[in-house]
Structure 1
Amino acid sequence: MAVTAQIPIGEYLHTSYRPDCDYIDGEVVERHVGKTDHARIQALLALWFGMHEQEWHILVTTEHRMRVSETRVRIPDVTLVRPGALTEDVLTHPPLCCIEILSPEDSYSQIREKCRDYRLMGVENIWLIDPSTRSGQAAIPQGWQDTLEFGIPETPIRLSLEDLFARLDRSLA
């Protein structure tokens, strides 16, 4: 990721970037822009969770700024929140779930640092989806668990990666 500038957080929070950038300890940091698989999976996730918003008592957002600490703002690919949580432009309370879709340019250390920031903020459900390997990982208290079925305990919220990847493949055929 390329560092584009060093500015106070207040200036960052009042500035728009295209595409939007993370803010890490005074630096505005470019995020990898999703390519076809990334963009399509993000759209499919928004559609899937959007169809279930009322039933599951959630709201879905994409690329929503989230202040994970006093000096850091992250932008998850997809975020699930409870109704009433979207009263602020930049989320400051932990969402129900953050979903990251890996891009070929993402490094292991970059994505783990981002997920560590989510965990330190208090996000309990963090999901990683890798379109290139057609795999997923869920953050659990002991570390990371490979899975093709995501779910949030004690809720009806679920996601089948097999179904998601099948829809992706059909859309690219």
Structure 2
Amino acid sequence: MASAVLVSVQEYLRTTYRPDVDYIDGELKERNVGEQPHALIQGILYGMFRDQRKKWHVRPLPEQRVQITSSRYRIPDICVLRADDPKDDIITFAPLLCIEVLSADDRLREVQNRVEDYASIGVRDVWVVDPWKRIGYHASARGFEQPADGVLRVANTAIAVSLEELFREYDES
């Protein structure tokens, strides 16, 4: 097994990676991206949040670095902030919502690790969307739960996204 090359947090923060990578305790971790189903779902979700930003009082950001600890940074596919949250270069507080869109090569354990990292900084709502199985989950440190009515929501807000509508738009794209 090859050993990982360690990178300082300072080097990570001043380097541009294409696509961007997670930084986990000195290691650069590639994210599975680049497939059309992933890109389409990510774009549609971003568009929904962008279109509703004033009504929902949010600011959606695609692929935004989020600091978990001083040695851990994650990049959710979509990070949704409250409209009045700071506009810092890197998010150092709990976003309102983190959304992960699965790629064909994603593994449950790694996705669960991402969800647990978000929960550790106080993110209460994490969505995981699977374009291949056409399902979505509300995820937490306890696991993944499909919404009984097919609608992903953010607690105590007006935010609601119908999975049926999401995948209908996907089919029309």
TM-score (norm 1): 0.92
Between the aligned partners of 2:25 and 2:165, the Cα distance in structure 1 is: 38
Structure 1: 4+ residue segments shifted above 3 A: 2-5, 140-143
Q: Which residue of 1 aligns with 2:163?
A: 161
Q: Distance between the aligned counterparts of 2:25 and 2:37, measured in 1?
A: 30
Q: Is the 8 A contact 2:50 2:59 kept in 1?
A: yes
Residue of structure 1 equivalent to 2:154? 152
- CA shift, 1:67, in A, is 0.5
Structure 1 position 3, deviation (Å): 8.4
User: CA-to-partner distance for each residue in 1:103-151, whole Å, 9 max, x for gaps?
Assistant: 0110111111111100101100000000110011102575421122111
Asked whether the 8 Å contact 2:119–2:141 carries over to 1, the reply is: no
Shift of 1:85: 2.3
**Number of positions where the alignment pairs a residue of Structure 1 with one of Structure 2:** 170
Assess if the C-alpha contact under 8 Å between 2:119 and 2:140 holds in 1: no
Q: TM-score, normalised by structure 2?
A: 0.92
SS at match of 1:81: strand
Is 1:4–1:30's contact at 8 Å kept on the other side of the alignment? no
Q: Aligned to 2:88, what secondary structure does the other structure show?
A: coil
Matches within 5 A, 1:71-82: 71-82=71-82
Offset of residue 97 of structure 1: 0.2
Cα deviations across residues 54-95 of structure 1 (Å, max 9, x unaligned)? 111100000000001121000000111012324211100000
Partner Cα separation in structure 1 for residue 69 and residue 3 of structure 2: 19
Q: Deviations over 1:21-40 (max 9, x none)?
A: 00001011111123111101
Preserved CA contact (<8 Å) 1:32 1:105: yes
Cα deviation code 1:5-47 (max 9, x no counterpart): 4111111011110110000010111111231111011111111
Determine the C-alpha separation between the residues in 2 that align with 1:42 and 1:67: 21
List alignment gaps of at least 5 residues for structure 2.
none
CA distance, structure 2, for counterparts of residue 3 and residue 72 of structure 1: 19
What code does the residue aligned with 2:79 have? Answer: T
Would you say the 8 A contact 1:3–1:30 is kept in 2?
Answer: no
The residue aligned with 1:12 is: 12
Aligned to 1:44: 44
Q: Who is 2:91 aligned against?
A: 91
Q: Distance in 1 between matches of 2:5 and 2:122?
A: 28
SS at match of 2:44: helix
